[in-house]
Each structure stands twice: as structure tokens, then as C-alpha cells.
A and B are shown apart, each in its own frame.
Chain A
Amino acid sequence: MESLGDEPWDVVIVGTGLQQSLLALALSRSKKRVLHTDPNDYYGQHEAALTLQDAERFAAKYAAASSGEGDEKKQSVLRNATVWKPDDAEAQGLKFPRAYSLALAPQIIHTKSKLLSSLVSSRAYRQVEFLAVGSFYVYEPAKDGSDPKLSRIPSSREDVFSSQSIPARSKRSLMKFLKFVLEFDSDDQKPLWEDHADAPLTDFLTAQFKLEDGLKRYVVALTMALDGKASVRPGLAAINRHLTSLGTFGPGFCAVYPKWGGLSEVAQVACRAGAVGGGIYMLDTGATPKSSDENEKASLGLSNDITVQANSIVSGQETTTGDQAISRLVAVVKSPLNSLFQVLVEGAPTPTVAVVALQSTPSPIYALVHSSDTGECPVGQCVVYLTTMTTNGSKNELEQALTMLVKAVEGEESTSPCLYQLYYEQAIGDGKPTTEKLGATSALSFPPLSATLAFEDSDLEAVKTAWSLVMGDECDEETYLVFEDREGADAEDDV
């Protein structure tokens, strides 16, 4: 049996996060010798899906607060992690740890996303089960004696027509806006907004479309901008993406979600493709570059005392220099919150994810509510992923938002308890890979994924950069992530 250290690897990929895994998929038919390692004993790294046992170890590993010294202030991408459960959680209904799969990357994926087209062209999509993302809601606080409630955002023209809560005049303004947004980037429409590209979207909506406050909140919520300051250009682009994604793969949904833990599942499937292609996988194995001479290939010391040489090394950034972060609260709730997962359009698949926007200062809070159909919790429960920009009181605010959300769905008397919580903060990177030379070896490090609620296609660019780096002269763009089915895979689904 060949030894790991005998000859240099074409690439050593360190970490099984989404981007590293997609690189392994991209290289899976290339004949390149690939060694893929991860210091954890599970797949997915920052995009993993965790059982409750994993979550506890994760919290211990990333418990440290953001801290840094001197000018070279570097902070761990993940920090301030804690887990919590009531003392009698099991008596209240918490099941065994493996019944849960908490996603560190619960991003929804728009149907027009390049990630999906890449998974289809590379044939990896067959092993992922995609579920529909359903309705978007805005939280309405108690007003004039009425209870707080969730208002569903009408997102298609039919929806707006049939809505009973919007007055006829407002409907006309909203329809005018929807029509505009579908072609906002055309030469005809650009003059309308280009001069205010960086101005707040709400001002633009008032000035150009005379949208009333309620409708403006709907529109701004659909941008899913975490800083709450959606400006005109990115705001319009986000709403355009939302509207044009509707109906792509069937009626009634604009985005999908991979069953069993979101992007974690995509990363795992990509790694499996890497393994089928002959890549060697080593979990529970750290890899540290050793110093190397200028003209020699770099070596990596593995945590099992083996040293390997590599023509290229691709890893993920573990630290960032910026201060900005998002706070995430993952909560298991003992209620299915069924009313959020209704089929509203005939022929639509049963939605398994609902999006709820809650107003808050200084930045809004978004909740992605997952039904048990995602495979992330037992039947009768749901998992709520709350996100906001990190400030001093974020954790409290997210916990309060969770309580408000459950009461708005179930009524003020709701007694559905929270059975488990995982809280952590995640740094916002600059979105750019870092590259360096280690002797004759090229090294590239992926930035953290965009800290957004929906998957951003821009996160795929670095994967292609890394692929070009590894492929070198053999780089043929036409073949990037375009593969035939392997023998034995069933092609009849395509009919």
C-alpha cells in the first residue's frame, strides 16, 4: 500500500467547509491526487450540521470571546458560543442527541442560484434532497388591543390581487413597483434609481412609488438585509432575485433548502464525489504548513505525525481582522408551528422553511423556522434559526424575539417551551481569498461564506479560483463542474 508521504500531492485540501468540498467535487474527475483533511471528526466545518453532542463540543471549542492583542488583531471566525437547555429538558420532550441536526449554515438557496446549476451539471444534485422554502412573514406587534401576529408577505401578483389586507389603492402602487423591479436593471428603468443607488430603499419607495409604511416593511423584509439599511441598488437586486426565482422548479416557492442540515449536506455530497473520484479522506486530522525553502515544495505536518508534500494547499480562513459579526441563535421549540408551513398554491410542494422578519433596533432580526420535515428535529418540534447583527445585547434580543415569535403563532397563552439553544457569533469576512507562496507551493485560503440569510453566488468565485490554481495548465473552463453521470446512477429522473 502506498504511503501518504511518498510523493507530493497535487493538492492538500484542509477543512471540509462548503468551498473546500466544492473544490473536491470540481477536482473529482481530474486525475489529480487529492488529500482532503479536516481537524474535526465530522464533515462541514463552519457549515456543519451538529447533533446535540456535537453542539456541546462546538460550544466548548468556540466559547472564547472576541479578543485580540496589538495591531495584528485577529479574531476567530466563530466565537462566544454557548449551549443552554432547561434542567428538565428531557422530561419536557427533548429527545436523544442524534435526533437533532442543527445547521451552522441554514442559508436558503434561491432557485436561480449558480450553486444549484453547478450541482446539476456536476451530477452531485442526485444525492441531495431539496425542500421548498415557503412563505415570508413580518412580525406585527400588538396594536389597538389586537394580539401580535405574523403577516404573510404577498410575493406574486396573484397574491397581491387576492390579498384582503391591502387596500385597493395601495395594491396599484405595489403592482407598479413589482413590475418595475422585474426589469429594474434595464436601460428603461435604470434612470429611475441610478442617481439614488446608495440611498435608503425606503426613501426611494416613498418618493417613486408612494408605498405606505406597511407595504414598505414588506418590501424591505424581502431584501433580507441584516443591517436593516438596505440601500436602493442591492435592495432592488435582492427583490428582483426573489421574484424571478419564483416558479423555476414548480409553483409557490422561490428558494430551496437541502434536507438534513442545509449547506452541510451539500458539502458532504461534494466530499463523497471527491471520494468516489479517488480522493483520500482523513477526518480528525489537523494539517500545519512547515517552513520551506524558496524553491522547494511545502510540507504539511499532519496531526498523526505524518509529513506530506503538496504542489498546492487550499484551506479556509479561521480568523478575520474585522470587528463586524452576526449573532445566531439556534433554538429547538416543542411545537411544530404548523400554521407557518401551509401549502398556499395548488401543486406546490409542502414548504419546510418559513422566513420571519422582526423589527428591532439597531438592526432587524430574521428567523428561519424549519419544520421537522427538514430532518433536523423530531416530529412535533421545530428548529428556529434567529440571526441579527452582533451588538452587546444580541443574545438577549434573539431570545426575546424567539418568545415573541412563538406567541405570535400560537397565541399569548402559548406554553411551548424552548428545549435547547445554541448561541454563537460569526465574523463577517471580506469575501476575498488570501493567497501566498510557501516555497514552490501555492496556498489559497477561502474567506468565510457571506454572512447572509440566502446563499450568495459570489461565494462560488473563490472555488473556481482555487480550481484554476490546482489545475494549472490543464485548466479548461468548459469542464469546470460539468460531468457525466457515473455508471450505475439512475438517469430516468430527468425525463
Chain B
Amino acid sequence: MADSAPRPSSSVKLVLLGEAAVGKSSLVLRFVNNDFQENKEPTIGAAFLTQKCNLPTRTIKFEIWDTAGQERFASLAPMYYRNAQAALVVYDLTKPTSLIKAKHWVAELQRQASPGIVIALVGNKLDLTNASAAAAGGSSEDEDEESGGAAGGDGGDESGDARKISTDEAKTYAEEESLLFFETSAKTGHNVSEVFTAIANAIPETSLKSTRGPGASNAVSRGGDEQRVNLTGPRGDASKDSCAC
């Protein structure tokens, strides 16, 4: 039975945090739908999306909680980061204040979130920098205009490079705090799926499945979701042979 079983699948709760207009929702939209919207409306309240990520030995189902960066009363985040196994803290690499805010979120997570949470620091809007011009040069994106609007850039400098936060600065900080680190562009898709794959790989196996002592439940060996009860019906074929009463 175990031989023909599909790869073990586990759910991972991931919360997105960061200042308003850094592109949190756009990153998720790129990851989930491979889509990008210019001038996207700000997220109101919060949003919930799911997306699967297939690894060689297992499947990770991300349950993504996208919070509004403009959230006024700092009251939403606590209900997301509690029990979250992963957090994606996003800043806009053309906007120095957004990194300060990101550092604030990292500190908050380290203070309040589940111990062992995997945190990824992501500098978004790489498409507004020179580096990306090379990287994304062959892209078929045909919008030449500045990605202003929701991107909210203050306009680039004369060279057309709007980068204000160097890769080294952010990377050094990420290393000090043991964070995963990526620079991405939700607009071109650069590095977006890499972020989620890296998070999936960094989630410790032990937080995905039962780790009770030996002898506890050897009868069942179905990986991550073995304990989870499905409320929309009996658990597949298991229910056929052992009717309860």
C-alpha cells in the first residue's frame, strides 16, 4: 500500500509581511497564477491563497496569508504568524524605509512567532534596477513604462537604476539573522518560484509529520497528513472495511 502511495503531502502555513506597496500580493499572484498586474489595488484586510510546490520527495501545500501592509492597527498580523511555519518578509529595494520596516517584522517574528519558523527576506522590484536589465533583458514583457503606480517608485536616478538598497547590505543582514535571502521581480517573475522552493526545502521534516516516540503509531505510515481529519467525507478507502457501529 505504501509503495503505490503518492508523495507525502504536507500543508505549510506561510504569512507575508512587509510595508505597504512593496509587492507582497504581486509576489503571490506571480507564484500562484504566474500573472502580474500593473497598478494593483492595495490589499484590504487580508487574503488567503493556496499553492502546491512539488519537491523530489514530497509535496508542500502552501497556505498563504497575505496581509495588508497598510493595516492600521497592527492587529491582523498576530493572528497570522501564530502557528505559521514560514514567513516571507518583503521590502522594496528602491525604498530604504521598507527595509527598516522589514527588519521590524523580522524582530517581531523572532519575538512572537512559532519557534523554528522559516523566514525569508525578499527584496522585490528588481526590474527597476540595472542588474535586472541584464537579467530580464530577453523577457518578452512589452511594457516599457516605469512600473510606477502600485510600485510607487520615486523614479529612478539618471542611470535608470532606482536601486537604493545594495544586495550586500541586505544579504549581510539576512546572514546575521539566519534568514533566507532573495532579490526578486514579481513583474518579470525573476526568482519568485525560487523563493518558495527554498522555503519548502528549509521547512524541517520534523515539523511536517508526527514525531511521537517509537511504537506510537507505526501502523500508519502515510507521512504528513496522517492525522488530519478530512471534514468533507470519510478518509477514502479506509472507511470501507471498518464501519464503526
The chain A residues found within 8 Å of chain B, CB to CB, are 1, 41-43, 96, 98-99, 116, 119-120, 125-127, 129-132, 156-158, 178, 182, 243-244, 246-254, 256, 260, 265, 268, 271-272, 275-285, 336, 338, 341-343, 345-350, 352, 371-373, 375, 379-380, 486, 488-490, 493-494
Please state if B48 and A249 are interface contacts (CB–CB under 8 Å): no
In the complex, how many angstroms separate the beta carbon of A87 from the nearest chain B beta carbon? 24
In the complex, A116 Cα to B233 Cα: how many Å?
12
Known contacts A249-B234, A493-B232, A283 near B244 by CB under 8 Å: no
Mask, B196-217, CB within 8 Å of A = 1, is 0000000000000011110111
Please state if B45 and A249 are interface contacts (CB–CB under 8 Å): no
In the complex, how many angstroms separate the beta carbon of A108 from the nearest chain B beta carbon? 12
- Does B57 touch A at the CB level, under 8 Å? no
Further pairs besides A247-B243, A281-B76: 4, Cβ < 8 Å: A244-B245, A249-B235, A347-B238, A488-B47
Set of chain A residues within 8 Å of B112, measured between Cβ atoms = 98
Within 8 A of A (CB), among B98-118: 112, 114-115
| Nearest residue, chain B, Cβ from A253 | B229
Please state if B229 and A131 are interface contacts (CB–CB under 8 Å): yes
| Nearest residue, chain B, Cβ from A281 | B75
A to B CB contacts below 8 Å, 6 in the list: A249-B235, A251-B243, A272-B46, A347-B239, A350-B217, A488-B50
In the complex, A1 Cα to B71 Cα: how many Å?
11
Please state if A282 and B75 are interface contacts (CB–CB under 8 Å): yes
- Does B53 touch A at the CB level, under 8 Å? no
- Does B159 touch A at the CB level, under 8 Å? no
Among the interface residues B75, B80, B114, B216, which one has the most CB atoms of the partner chain A within 10 A? B75
Set of chain A residues within 8 Å of B226, measured between Cβ atoms = 349-350
Mask, B131-158, CB within 8 Å of A = 1, is 0000000000000000000000000000
Please state if B227 and A336 are interface contacts (CB–CB under 8 Å): no
Total inter-chain residue pairs, C-beta < 8 Å? 180
Please state if A489 and B50 are interface contacts (CB–CB under 8 Å): yes
Please state if B78 and A43 are interface contacts (CB–CB under 8 Å): yes
Which among A116, A131, A371 is the interface contact of B228 at CB below 8 angstroms?
Answer: A131
In the complex, A265 Cα to B79 Cα: how many Å?
9
In the complex, A425 Cα to B65 Cα: how many Å?
36
In the complex, how many angstroms separate the beta carbon of A238 from the nearest chain B beta carbon? 15
Please state if A251 and B45 are interface contacts (CB–CB under 8 Å): no
- Does B58 touch A at the CB level, under 8 Å? no
Which among B50, B72, B79, B239 is the interface contact of A251 at CB below 8 angstroms?
Answer: B239
In the complex, A371 Cα to B213 Cα: how many Å?
11
Please state if B217 and A42 are interface contacts (CB–CB under 8 Å): no
- Does B49 touch A at the CB level, under 8 Å? yes
Please state if A283 and B231 are interface contacts (CB–CB under 8 Å): no
Which among A96, A132, A379, A493 is the interface contact of B212 at CB below 8 angstroms?
Answer: A379
- Does B5 touch A at the CB level, under 8 Å? no
Set of chain A residues within 8 Å of B74, measured between Cβ atoms = 283
Please state if B83 and A256 are interface contacts (CB–CB under 8 Å): no
Please state if A120 and B50 are interface contacts (CB–CB under 8 Å): no
Set of chain A residues within 8 Å of B212, measured between Cβ atoms = 336, 338, 341, 350, 371-373, 379
In the complex, A126 Cα to B241 Cα: how many Å?
27
Which 10 residue pairs are nearest across A and B when measured between Cβ atoms?
A347-B238, A247-B244, A488-B49, A246-B244, A250-B235, A490-B50, A283-B75, A281-B75, A275-B45, A130-B229
Set of chain A residues within 8 Å of B83, measured between Cβ atoms = 260, 265, 375
Among the interface residues B74, B212, B220, B229, which one has the most CB atoms of the partner chain A within 10 A? B229
In the complex, how many angstroms separate the beta carbon of B6 from the nearest chain A beta carbon? 13
Which among B48, B79, B210, B216 is the interface contact of A489 at CB below 8 angstroms?
Answer: B48
Please state if A275 and B46 are interface contacts (CB–CB under 8 Å): yes
In the complex, how many angstroms separate the beta carbon of A438 from the nearest chain B beta carbon? 24
Please state if A336 and B238 are interface contacts (CB–CB under 8 Å): no
- Does B230 touch A at the CB level, under 8 Å? yes
The interface on chain B, measured as residues whose beta carbon lies within 8 A of the other chain's beta carbons, has a size of: 55
Among the interface residues A129, A132, A278, A347, which one has the most CB atoms of the partner chain B within 10 A? A347
- Does B44 touch A at the CB level, under 8 Å? yes
Please state if B32 and A379 are interface contacts (CB–CB under 8 Å): no
Please state if A98 and B227 are interface contacts (CB–CB under 8 Å): no
Set of chain A residues within 8 Å of B245, measured between Cβ atoms = 156-157, 178, 182, 243-244, 246-247
In the complex, how many angstroms separate the beta carbon of A111 from the nearest chain B beta carbon? 8
In the complex, how many angstroms separate the beta carbon of B174 from the nearest chain A beta carbon? 23
Set of chain B residues within 8 Å of A265, measured between Cβ atoms = 83
In the complex, how many angstroms separate the beta carbon of B15 from the nearest chain A beta carbon? 11
In the complex, A279 Cα to B219 Cα: how many Å?
45
In the complex, A116 Cα to B229 Cα: how many Å?
12
Please state if B241 and A347 are interface contacts (CB–CB under 8 Å): yes
In the complex, A129 Cα to B75 Cα: how many Å?
23
Set of chain B residues within 8 Å of A275, measured between Cβ atoms = 45-46, 76, 79
In the complex, how many angstroms separate the beta carbon of B13 from the nearest chain A beta carbon? 8
Known contacts A132-B227, A490-B50, A252 near B242 by CB under 8 Å: yes
In the complex, A182 Cα to B235 Cα: how many Å?
24
In the complex, A253 Cα to B232 Cα: how many Å?
15
| Nearest residue, chain B, Cβ from A247 | B244
In the complex, A1 Cα to B44 Cα: how many Å?
12
Please state if B75 and A284 are interface contacts (CB–CB under 8 Å): yes
| Nearest residue, chain A, Cβ from B83 | A260
- Does B82 touch A at the CB level, under 8 Å? yes
Please state if A249 and B233 are interface contacts (CB–CB under 8 Å): yes
- Does B161 touch A at the CB level, under 8 Å? no
| Nearest residue, chain A, Cβ from B237 | A347
Please state if B230 and A493 are interface contacts (CB–CB under 8 Å): yes
In the complex, A384 Cα to B215 Cα: how many Å?
21
Set of chain B residues within 8 Å of A341, measured between Cβ atoms = 212, 216-217
| Nearest residue, chain B, Cβ from A42 | B78
Within 8 A of A (CB), among B61-100: 61, 63, 65, 70, 72-76, 78-80, 82-83
Please state if A373 and B210 are interface contacts (CB–CB under 8 Å): yes
Set of chain A residues within 8 Å of B72, measured between Cβ atoms = 1, 280
Which among B75, B79, B82, B219 is the interface contact of A346 at CB below 8 angstroms?
Answer: B219
| Nearest residue, chain A, Cβ from B52 | A490
In the complex, A281 Cα to B237 Cα: how many Å?
43
- Does B191 touch A at the CB level, under 8 Å? no
| Nearest residue, chain A, Cβ from B217 | A350
Please state if B216 and A256 are interface contacts (CB–CB under 8 Å): no
Set of chain A residues within 8 Å of B211, measured between Cβ atoms = 379
